Structure 1
Amino acid sequence: METFKSRVKDALGEGSKAVQMEIVNQEQGDLPKLVDQMIVQERDAFAVSS
């Protein structure tokens, strides 16, 4: 499973041309900013905020 996860991350990760998109809204309350905030949260805070 770890090998599979690694291959998916490599295929779709930063710098990949597999999936192209442009994120237009990057204000504080928009989804990209919320995801960035949630990624760095501790487990308990993440459970509440998600």
Structure 2
Amino acid sequence: NPLSNRPMLFLAILMILVGIQFITMGLLGEMMARIYHDEQKKPIYVIKEILE
């Protein structure tokens, strides 16, 4: 069977590559957010009021 007669194989390969790309972009975004917060020299969260 030639590969041109198997569109589902190409679709599966495409979906795997797209998934890898999404995971990579998510990891890069997470790294950039962490670097941004580290460089700000202030806490990410600020406690406005303590309730007792």
Higher share of residues assigned helix: 2
Larger radius of gyration: 2
User: Bigger relative contact order, structure 1 or 2, given CA contacts below 8 A and separation 6+?
Assistant: 1
